[in-house]
Amino acid sequence: MANSKYEYVKSFETLDKLLPNVWIVVRVDGRSFHKFTQKHEYQKPNDERGIQLMNRCAFEVCQEFTDIVIAFGESDEYSFVLGRSCNLFERRESKISSSIVSYFTSQFVYRWREYFNDYPLRYPPTFDSRAVCYPSNENLRDYLSWRQADTHINNLYNTCFWTLVLKGNKTPAEAEAALCGTLAEQKNEILFTQFQINYNNLPQMYRKGSVIYRKLVEESYLDQKSNQQKSKFKKRLVIEHIDIISDKFWKENPSLLNDK
């Protein structure tokens, strides 16, 4: 059974190399997660276990694919940023994008019990992914700002909505009507006046999303030669819930955008 006469079908494969010297963002998104969170009784507006699990999966992805410079997650999505000079899988789009979404999903199912304990995973979830290229550092920062601003907008809305429903005894339709057309300020006001909730005091993880990156941290160690305590700087993968829209974060971590 010779294979040679069929091998021509390989020539139908396309070479999908991404442009060199641009940032690559792979965004992983939960498919039908509205249904998934309902079936698994996620707490509203935010389920800490669910978010921690997402963060853990993303953390493991960043451990595995060391070309990832920074990742940002909120709700059921995570964006992974690969550096301009990254040559993972020779920058083949489908390889990069599919490997990341597969490993993320794999981790999600594998670690479900670590975060949900006895609560069973009723069915295996699906994520999709896509790769997008951003040429300049400004474009990349704007992309990340876009996602973090989105986190803020969604979370403020969801917090109001679910507070009105769960504590204000409104129906979903009533809550939706009450929020229709309101500005951020007004939503803050509703939370504060009606429910004594200061939105800015809620956990940053919900308000800012999660940032995973390799941080330069000082670590002390025992120098065996001199038998003295010394320190050196090392890159450590960390998860933080901080503002990445303003310049502060980027000034404190200049190496991120230098792509080294």
> Could you list the residues that contact its own copies (CB under 8 A)?
1-3, 5-17, 19-22, 31, 60, 64, 84, 93-95, 97-99, 101-111, 121, 123-136, 139, 142-143, 145-146, 149-150, 152-153, 184, 245
What residues have CB less than 8 Å from 153, skipping those under 6 apart?
184
Minimum distance between the CB of residue 108 and its own copies, rounded to whole angstroms? Answer: 7
Question: How many CB atoms lie under 10 A from the CB of residue 239?
Answer: 17
Q: Is 32 annotated for ligand binding?
A: yes
Q: Is 76 annotated for ligand binding?
A: yes
Q: Is 181 annotated for ligand binding?
A: no
Q: 189 near 48, Cβ under 8 Å? A: no
Nearer to its own copies by Cβ, of 7 and 118: the residue is 7
Minimum distance between the CB of residue 195 and its own copies, rounded to whole angstroms? Answer: 22
Q: Is 34 annotated for ligand binding?
A: yes
Minimum distance between the CB of residue 131 and its own copies, rounded to whole angstroms? Answer: 7
Minimum distance between the CB of residue 86 and its own copies, rounded to whole angstroms? Answer: 13
Nearer to its own copies by Cβ, of 9 and 173: the residue is 9
Q: What is the DSSP string of 62-96?
A: HHH-TTEEEEEEETTEEEEEE-TT--GGGGBHHHH
What residues have CB less than 8 Å from 141, skipping those under 6 apart?
244, 250, 257
Q: Is 33 annotated for ligand binding?
A: yes
- Return the sign of the alpha-carbon dihedral for residues 27, 88, 218, 141: negative
| d(C-alpha 190, C-alpha 74), whole Å | 24
Which residue numbers belong to the known binding site for GTP? 29-34, 75-76
